[in-house]
């Protein structure tokens, strides 16, 4: 193991990890927003939009992110739409993640017992207040594990961003292996970098789930 090589190129991994985290965070946040809209459209069975959301979810979940990125980065310019590599990465991650987040949130909403809906209405809450104060907290407590798993999944999916010339972690590792043939060192730093990024996310979501459960959310009251 060449420790000098690791010390020399570690800053490149740190910079690449920053880019990976920035793009991943943007994709996760936008995915949650898209997922919430699709979930509510399907949950309330909004005409037409419900079907559109269903088609989108199936399309996004059954096509690889790499194919979506190729379409955005190489296909759209053919019709005059040019997006930067970073924009393509965020849009692609959001397109993919929104579908998974929608299903995670929908499973949380459907897990809330119908009695909880009726109890809120009996207390005089409006449908909006009932959703905000009664249904949504319980649904989120149930959906948190799936949301956390999706967040980790989306960060890992950023490994394909190198295909559109983004200097993410995978791009740096492949570049160093190609130039110096230091496969073991490059892959070791790549593995450690992803662990450093993903372990805190997993721990945070686990603690959040435990706290919500302890507070009584996710259980019938």
Could you read off the pLDDT of 52-70 as tens digits, one per residue? 999 999 999 999 999 999 9
pLDDT exceeds 80 at position 117: no
CATH architecture, range 3-214: Orthogonal Bundle (1.10)
Confidence (pLDDT) at 218: 52
Helices (H), the chain: 3-43, 49-61, 65-70, 85-111, 114-122, 127-130, 136-157, 169-180, 183-214
Asked if residue 68 lies in contact with residue 83, where contact means CB atoms within 8 angstroms, the answer is: no
pLDDT of residue 221: 40
pLDDT range class, residue 220, cuts 50, 70, 90? very low
Specify the pTM: 0.86
Average pLDDT for residues 149-161, to the nearest whole number? 92
Residues 173-200, mean pLDDT to the nearest whole number: 90
* pLDDT computed for residue 208 by the predictor: 84
C-alpha span between 105 and 92 (Å, rounded):
20
């Amino acid at each position: 193991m060449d420790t000098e090589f690791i010390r020399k190129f570690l800053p490149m991994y740190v910079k690449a990890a920053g880019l990976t985290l920035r793009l991943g965070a943007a994709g996760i946040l936008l995915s949650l927003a898209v997922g919430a809209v699709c979930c509510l459209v399907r949950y309330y069975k909004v005409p037409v939009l419900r079907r559109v959301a269903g088609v989108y979810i199936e399309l996004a979940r059954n096509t690889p992110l790499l194919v979506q990125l190729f379409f955005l980065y190489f296909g759209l310019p053919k019709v005059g739409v040019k997006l930067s590599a970073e924009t393509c990465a965020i849009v692609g991650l959001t397109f993919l993640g929104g579908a998974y987040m929608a299903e995670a949130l929908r499973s949380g909403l459907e897990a809330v017992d119908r009695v909880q809906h009726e109890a809120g209405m009996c207390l005089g809450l409006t449908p909006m207040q009932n959703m905000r104060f009664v249904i949504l907290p319980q649904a989120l407590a149930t959906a948190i594990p799936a949301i956390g798993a999706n967040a980790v999944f989306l960060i890992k999916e950023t490994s394909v961003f190198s295909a559109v010339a983004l200097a993410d972690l995978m791009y740096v590792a492949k570049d160093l292996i190609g130039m110096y043939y230091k496969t073991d060192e490059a892959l070791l730093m790549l593995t450690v970098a992803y662990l450093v990024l993903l372990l805190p996310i997993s721990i945070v979501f686990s603690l959040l789930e435990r706290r919500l459960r302890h507070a009584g959310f996710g259980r019938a009251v």
